Amino acid sequence: MKLGLYCQIGQSLDMAKFAIHHAIQNSGLTFRKDFDIVFICWKTSPQVFEWLDANQYRLVDIGYEEGKGFLWNLYRGWNAGYKYWFNRYSEIDYVVPIATDHYFHTNWLINMLRWAKHNRIVNCKLIEPGTLPSLHTTRNFGLTTWKDFQLNECINFCDKISKNKLVVNEANYGHRLDAMPFLVPRDVWRRFGPMNKTLDAAGITGDTNFFNRCKDGGVEITKSLDAISYHCGGIETKRNAKQGVYT
């Protein structure tokens, strides 16, 4: 096994079940042989913990640092996923963060992995609903749960745009290349990680700041057009905020 995935997970079990099912089933690889997933838990609900335990998933409960705010804890979670895989397992060459508000299309993971190189970050082809400003392809297929998602419509849409191609030039492509999930090599993380837990002087978040440092340091930023993910966009965050769990 040379590939480690991680997923920050909170309150929404219905979204987690949908996302993780498709992340594994549509990976194009063999779960727990070619890759595994660790769940980074903070403000995680009891029912989610029960589901993780029932499926014997790896997990790390990092808790919640009170008084630091949401972004601080979010980027603690981002960094914890890389720390888990790269510090504990020398055979892990690449780490991929994923999230529970996604649908992962057919062969999304193997199609990123086949473009991987030691000095290259490979991003997915991202689709977003367009309900918020986006620098990616937009089409609204709804909330990513078994009950609400327009699965067949999304599959048909993804099949039509799927291309066996790696994009290396953002200016010619017309959309942002960086998009979660993305595949980060061990040496790139060693040189440019961890991510900032607060906004930088320009008001930029930790993941974008990390990508900027990688670009400035000569890392190739690319996008695999047939590694497709649909991202609802902060849905679990909004759900949890309504429940008061991030205050």
For residue 240, the model assigns a pLDDT of: 45
CA angle centred on 189, ends 97 and 98, rounded to 5°: 0
Question: In this predicted model, what pLDDT tens digit does every residue of 127-179 receive, in sequence order?
Answer: 999 887 788 999 999 999 999 999 999 999 999 988 899 999 888 887 789 99
CATH class of the domain whose range is 3-243: alpha beta
- Whether the model clears a pTM of 0.85, i.e. scores above it, the answer is yes
For residue 176, the model assigns a pLDDT of: 81
* C-alpha pair distances (Å), 209 with each of 75, 127, 196, 214, 227: 12, 22, 8, 9, 23
For residue 132, the model assigns a pLDDT of: 76
For residue 54, the model assigns a pLDDT of: 98
**Three-state SS at 104:** strand
Report mean pLDDT in 10-residue bins for the chain, 247 residues. 94 97 98 98 97 98 95 97 98 98 98 97 95 87 97 97 90 85 98 96 94 96 96 64 35
- Hey, what are 26's tokens? 């549509």
For residue 237, the model assigns a pLDDT of: 52
Cα separation of 146 and 20, whole Å? 12
Contacts of 186 (CB under 8 A, 6+ apart): 86, 92, 93, 94, 95, 118
How is the chain split into domains, by residue range? Answer: 3-243
Handedness of CA 115, 34, 144, 161 (dihedral sign): positive
With contact defined as beta carbons under 8 Å apart, do 97 and 229 qualify? no
Question: In this predicted model, what pLDDT tens digit does every residue of 12-28 receive, in sequence order?
Answer: 999 999 999 999 999 99
CA 75 to centroid of chain Cα atoms: 13
